[in-house]
Amino acid sequence: MTQHLPIASTGGMCDFFRTIGESYPVLHSYLVIFAIAIPLIMALSLAVSGKLPASVVKVSGILGFLVPGLISLWLAGVYLSSGYNGLYAFPVIADLGLEQFGIRLHLGLNGLALPFYVLSGIVGLAAGLYAVQSGVERLRLMLILLLIMQAGLMGVFSSVDILFFYFFHEFALIPTFVMIAIWGRSGRRAVALEVTIYLTLGAMITLAGLIALYIFSGASDFNMIALRDAVVAAPRQGTIFGLLLIGFGVLVSLFPFHTWAPRAYATAPAPAAMLHAGVLKKFGLYGLIQIAYPILPQGVADWAPLLLILALGNVLIIGFVTMAQRDLKLMLGNASVMHMGYAFLGLYAYSSIGIGAAVLMLFAHGLSVALLFLLADVVEKRGGTCDMEEIGGLGQKAPVLMSLFVAAMLASIGLPGFANFWGELGIFVSLFATATPWALYLALIGILISAIYGLRAIASVFFGEEKGELSGGDISWREKIPALLLLAFLLLIGIWPKLLSDPVNESVTRTFADSAPTMVVPSGEFSLTK
């Protein structure tokens, strides 16, 4: 499955990663398994052990998140330094007695999966670190659920078999419902029920689309690579893509199937909101990019006009709804849904620029929205409320918290210097090159909307007259560490976007080369200089 292509020596760290990759190829396949297994082992050990000291529970939880986080960064370094040129690397193939049905455990990473895999490791570590020091009741149960979610996320974005891709998503999704119901804010049980209904329905429609894709492709198994080599008859492509678009669209909060998301994120405990909004919600768009778009080009063309309208609905309609919010967390939940519209617009453009920019946008959005939910939770703890009209002047007593929140909000808006800027820029460029350049002008309104609600939130919470008592002082170091972790990667990719754009572009070029004559390959490469 893996083809290793040599690249010219660049010295330093690249040589180090390449040497390790060439010397211990089997080790890296085991690391892919360990990234899934270690969180599960830690969750199981916490579940079956008797009464444990709080320090042991916390250390166990941190280890369960630290190991997959470090593995994701290590494998990214090996992949970037070893010249895989968009191919799958670190293969794991295991027969589980289901091979007669075309099902086998098949793991690996290509340039499209790699950003999401790293995102899972980074945000998972940040969410785990924040949960450990949050002081929440029944901490051990929360860590167990978060570790299960983390294991599922590492499995989702390393799966090559589409049924295991689906299975790991469901595995990661279940803890979300439980955490909302137990630790959520007011109205949590109703919100948990709504989220369960919406996401279960979306997951079932997605499963129907994946099974239909397998049946009508004539492929020998559910392997993504085998499915891309198969041919689906043009009349079937529209129906199958429609199922996948609706199913994935519900899971990723595509307008008008989005109503579950803002309330879910505003109600969920911060670590759960960080993991779901930051990572798990990317499942739907990743599935469209990795599975639907390369295999069903005619279906993409059939649904493109409707997709454009729905994506603009995310940007404009949800954008205006976001501007009307008073609750800080509810505003961030709506803003998260709004920005998914940009990624869908990148897919609508159906060019290597659009696809590559959408991936970079999703990576950056995952970091920034996780950071914003973390900081919003700190604001709620300090100010006693999330109502922006009842908070004010926090910046005078919490200047570090204010600085981090301002940086996170500016990143979300798309300020140059942060990773979000490159994703939005690439999407806008790809829209201008389509047959509907007017969509660009409408999409640009979203920048103005983001600036209005973002700057208003900063002014309401941190400036002006103090409207309440500040409890707990400025953001603590234990809260600051996960926040700085997320901010560091936003700045790293903002300054050096080629770390992501190069492997993504290689995989887009390889994956989509034969998918459709309208695909811009390779003249539209999304490749950025340092």
Q: Please write the tens of the pLDDT for every residue from 102-144.
A: 678 889 998 899 999 999 999 999 999 999 988 888 899 999 9
Indicate whether 14 pLDDT > 70.
no
Which residue shows structure tokens 């005078």? Answer: 396
In terms of C-beta density within 10 A (0-12 exposed, 13-18 middle, 19 or more buried), how is residue 6 classed? exposed
- Considering only residues 423 and 519, tell me which one the structure prediction assigns the higher pLDDT: 423
- For residue 264, count other CB atoms closer than 10 A to its CB: 27
Indicate whether 8 pLDDT > 50.
no
Residue (of 206, 167, 85, 189) closest to 504 by Cα position = 85
Distance, in Å, from the CA atom of 496 to the CA atom of 80, rounded to the nearest integer, reads 13
SS3 content of the chain, % helix, strand, coil (to 5): 75, 5, 25
Q: What is the pLDDT of residue 94?
A: 78
Q: Residue type for 384, please?
A: G
Instruction: Find the distance separating the first CA and the last CA of the chain, reported in whole Å.
Output: 32
Distance, in Å, from the CA atom of 193 to the CA atom of 197, rounded to the nearest integer, reads 6
Residue (of 411, 405, 504, 507) closest to 457 by Cα position = 405
Q: What tokens appear for 489 in the block?
A: 């990667």
Indicate whether 78 pLDDT > 70.
yes
Q: What tokens appear for 295 in the block?
A: 């295999």
- At a CB cut-off of 8 Å and minimum separation 6, what does 70 contact? 121
What's the whole-number mean pLDDT along residues 352-363?
91
Distance, in Å, from the CA atom of 217 to the CA atom of 231, rounded to the nearest integer, reads 5
Give the three-state DSSP class for 144. Answer: helix
Distance, in Å, from the CA atom of 314 to the CA atom of 341, rounded to the nearest integer, reads 5
Contact 318, 326 (CB under 8 A): no
Q: Where are the beta strands (DSSP E) in 24-138?
A: 89-94, 105-109
Distance, in Å, from the CA atom of 14 to the CA atom of 21, rounded to the nearest integer, reads 10
Q: Mean pLDDT across the chain, nearest whole number?
A: 85
Residue (of 88, 523, 514, 501) closest to 293 by Cα position = 514
Percentage of the chain lying above the pLDDT 70 cut? 90
Q: Residue type for 355, please?
A: I
Phi and psi based region of residue 12 (left: phi greater than 0; alpha: psi -120 to 50; beta: remaining)? left
Residue (of 339, 497, 483) closest to 406 by Cα position = 483
